[in-house]
Structure 1
Amino acid sequence: MHVIFRTLLVLLQARRRPTMTPWESSVVTMRALPTDVDIARHINNGQYFSLFDLGRFDLMARSGLWAQMRKRGWSPVVQSEQITFRRSVTFMTRFEIHTRMIGFDEKCFYFEQRAVVDGEIYVRAHVAGRLLSSAGPVPNVEILGAIRDLGHEAPEDLSVSEELQTWRRDSALPAARKTAPNTW
């Protein structure tokens, strides 16, 4: 909730920005605010995931997917995420969040997101997500159908690299209906 006002602002601004397909790259310009940085005066490592949420919201809103999800009663959730740091985005630095949907595996859809300063990648993350309905996880075939209903044809190859699929599978916790005892 600490980026709720930014979330609302991004969703409002998305209404005035050009529409796009889910397969294009969304770019949201930001500035590293006092609420983003830690004592080292750079964006806190955990804050990047909250800021990257904004990029995914922009992409979903501008492509029409956000409205389609709301209409169908679907809610987005993150299943796994990984991040790599190259340089620090420091206090009050202007930066861009680049977001692109890169594909699907048997369970999830994937985004690649970047924090970019002056054309240079500072941080890169991969996010594996799902959509949930009251009946449970929404199958990818239904998600792709909803995207097609919006008039956006999917690229021919939507598979993600074996490396990303392996990372998601290997880092996954047991399903919510299974036990996951803490036995340290």
Structure 2
Amino acid sequence: MTRALHLALATLRPRRPVPGQHVLDPSVTRLRVRPGDLDLYRHVNNGVYLQMMDVARSNFLADLGATQLLAARGWYPVVAASTMTYRRSLTLGQRFEITTRVLGWDPRVVFLEQVFTRGGEHVARGWVAGRFLSRDGGRVPAPDVVAVLEHAPATSPELPAEVAAWAAAVDVAHR
């Protein structure tokens, strides 16, 4: 199965919500490297990491019980910006985890960190600035999205300095 199909299944048939899951709690997605994930050098292609992160973000929303809440409002997530750093390769058959967590939000976007680990070793890390859109064509303010989630704090935690600097550099931070 391709990662695009994997994402479709994770989105259209989400896993069950985790009772008591908080928007600031980490969500873990466990995966295995498949033949279609590899490039000619026999390690996971850099673009496939982004597809795997899509699956993990869908699982994160499912863990929160947010999938149906968002769909009922006609809201859906999109990536406004992302960046990756790689430390180690993933190769065929290896099992690994992606831990997704919200770092904070501003009036426009939600900032997430997604960390790939294999056997406790750091493999890669991505930062994602996610925006929510409405089926009627409008943008949904990030605080409005957070507000519909159960166990959500009223205000965002302060972003780590390096994430705030990245957000400003790629022009996704609220002005």
CA distance in 2 between partners of 1:46 and 1:135 (Å): 28
Contact 1:112 1:126 in 2 (8 A): yes
In the alignment, which residue of structure 2 is the partner of 1:4?
4
Bigger CA drift: 91-100 or 156-165? 156-165
Larger-Rg structure: 1
Compared CA separation, residues 117 and 160, structure 1 to 2 (3 A): same
Deviations 1:62-83 (CA, angstroms, capped at 9, x unpaired): 2111111101101101001000
The partner residue of 1:138 within 137, 140, 148 is: 140
So what's the TM-score if we normalise by structure 2? 0.86
Query: What's the CA shift for 1:89?
Result: 0.7
CA distance in 2 between partners of 1:155 and 1:98 (Å): 23
Unmatched 5+ residue regions in structure 1?
A: 174-184
The RMSD of aligned alpha carbons is: 2.1
Unmatched 5+ residue regions in structure 2?
A: none
Compared CA separation, residues 142 and 13, structure 1 to 2 (3 A): closer
Query: What's the CA shift for 1:46?
Result: 1.1
So what's the TM-score if we normalise by structure 1? 0.83
| Paired-residue identity, % | 33
CA distance in 2 between partners of 1:22 and 1:105 (Å): 15
* One-letter amino acid matched to 2:117: V
CA distance in 2 between partners of 1:52 and 1:112 (Å): 10
In the alignment, which residue of structure 2 is the partner of 1:176?
none
2:62 is the alignment partner of 1:61: yes
Query: What's the CA shift for 1:116?
Result: 0.7
CA distance in 2 between partners of 1:73 and 1:157 (Å): 24
Query: What's the CA shift for 1:106?
Result: 3.6
Query: What's the CA shift for 1:96?
Result: 0.8
Compared CA separation, residues 162 and 136, structure 1 to 2 (3 A): farther
In the alignment, which residue of structure 1 is the partner of 2:31?
30
Contact 1:105 1:160 in 2 (8 A): no
